[in-house]
Amino acid sequence: MILFAVAPLFAQNPREQFERFKSQAEKDFERTRQQQDSIFAKSIVDNWQAIQVSSFEKTPQPRPEEQPKSEPSLELLDLEHQFIETQPKLMRSFKPTTLEYNQEYEPELERSITFFGEQMRIRYSADLLCLSDFEISSKVDLSKAWQRLSKTTYQPLVNSLHKKRLELQLPDFGYLSLLETLLNDLDVSSKNLEVYKWFLLVKSGYAARIGLINNSPVLVVGSFGKIYGKRYYSSAGINYYVLSDAKGELESYIIDSDVNNAPFDLSVNEEIRLPLNHAQREISYSSRFGKTINVKILYNSNVVEMLRTFPQSDIAYYLTSRPSDLLAKSLENSLLPYMADLSEVQRVNFLLEFVQKGFTYQSDSRQFGKERVLYPEEVFSYPYSDCDDRVVLLAYLLRTFVDVPMVALGFPQHIALGLKLSSPVFGESIKYNGYKFTFCDPTYLNAPLGAVIPSADRDQLRVIEF
């Protein structure tokens, strides 16, 4: 007798096939993730060591105590200067990739927080607070803390925070501030706060590490740019900065597991989309162009409050920063009518005078007790500004209203701009990449394009690209 195989009467449902495949893939992914987290936890202990950190990243030299003022009889010199070095354009990080954690689980807890005027509701799982009764003072404790946290349902929270970062266009230190705001609202103990920030940053795709100073956890973050006033060490080709001001020997781990994570990018090259909190700066002065300038400039004080929390870094990051749309549109509405019929050089001189006369000069040592560069938004919120701040603001104004190629010109104790103009201009300049860049100094009161304060050491001039 011949037997024939009989095909099943009903073919398997394709959707059921897919769901089974998806379920198995998620289980495999979760198994792999847990294995990696266990390996990482063990690596912390196995690779623990005392780390030699460099001294604090030094801030730039102090700027002039008083604003230099040119005399009406100032005679421009048509000189072409040499420069001793070029600071190349800064390296910038790629943003962490969009997180694709499985989020079928809906966290059972919800917290409303206020973040620089932004009201947001954050959902999280109760198990995330698993370190509430856990004391951390050793490498073994840190390893156990990682294991505990990695077994919690943290993925929906990280997804939610990541989406909020994209929505608000937060710079990387803005994202860290968001983590701190949430953790403080959740009453995470101060002893474990750094551990939570470390864990959430790593799971968000950032190059972050944890260390101990005097048996207390400290957060360490990787950054391509300098973070002034912080100790650091080099690893995997980037600098890792100890964000704590705690004194003492640093102990931490050095492993290559975070080489694919993104170092902190210190740029603020997108508008920070915080809710509007209007503030106003009135500017009035007599212009040498025969007019009295009277403008009211609006800016977003919520953005200013966030920027105040950022660490100090290379000035090139400030020179490429972008303010709020509120400030940008307010400047456009206020200044464009004065420049409607002006040529390129006339526009430059108008904006140069606006920065020279519209703001009161005071050195950072007097205003802040330390060197501090201000973002454009901040220049309008503080009563005083020095040469760094004025260069940052003027660079933004020139980029917006003239679109002229620029470099920054760094002198010992001073900074100015160099402009590549489309028509010849009499005055001091340098030749850079085959082009003439004319000096432009927003600190030298009443001085026109082509002049820099007399005390600036031309023999120590360096070019800063941005």
Q: What is the mean pLDDT of residues 192-218?
A: 97
337 lies in the same domain as 417: yes
Check pLDDT > 90 for residue 161.
Answer: yes
203: in domain = yes
Model's pTM, two decimal places?
0.90
Question: What is the number of structural domains in the chain?
Answer: 2
407: in domain = yes
328 lies in the same domain as 348: yes
Check pLDDT > 90 for residue 101.
Answer: no
Residue 147 pLDDT: 97
321 lies in the same domain as 415: yes
Check pLDDT > 50 for residue 2.
Answer: no
The mean pLDDT of the chain is 90
CATH number at residue 274: 3.10.620
Q: How far apart are the first and last CA of the chain?
A: 87
Residue 90 pLDDT: 74
Residue 425 pLDDT: 93
432: in domain = yes
Domain boundary among 216, 239, 258: 258
What tens digit of pLDDT does each residue of 69-96 get? 988 878 888 999 999 989 877 776 665 5
Check pLDDT > 50 for residue 9.
Answer: no
Residue 4 pLDDT: 43
280: in domain = yes
Weakest mean pLDDT among 98-107, 141-150, 192-201, 259-268:
98-107
Domain boundary among 217, 232, 258: 258
Report the alpha-carbon distance of residue 255 to residue 330 in Å, rounded: 49
202: in domain = yes
3-state helix, strand, coil in the chain (%, to 5): 35, 25, 45
Check pLDDT > 50 for residue 276.
Answer: yes
What tens digit of pLDDT does each residue of 31-70 get? 667 788 999 999 999 999 999 999 877 777 778 888 989 8
How many CA within 13 A on the CB side of residue 373?
23
Residue 454's domain spans which residues? 80-90+269-464
137 lies in the same domain as 234: yes
144 lies in the same domain as 209: yes
281 lies in the same domain as 248: no
What tens digit of pLDDT does each residue of 350-361 get? 999 999 999 999
69: in domain = no
283 lies in the same domain as 317: yes
Report the alpha-carbon distance of residue 6 to residue 25 in Å, rounded: 32
Domain boundary among 232, 258, 284: 258
218 lies in the same domain as 313: no
284 lies in the same domain as 194: no
**Residues 118/126, Cβ–Cβ less than 8 Å:** no
What tens digit of pLDDT does each residue of 359-387 get? 999 999 999 999 899 999 999 999 999 99
232 lies in the same domain as 218: yes
277 lies in the same domain as 133: no
107 lies in the same domain as 209: yes
Report the alpha-carbon distance of residue 58 to residue 56 in Å, rounded: 6
Q: In what order do the strands lie in the sheet with 216-223?
A: 48-51, 250-253, 208-213, 216-223, 238-242, 232-235
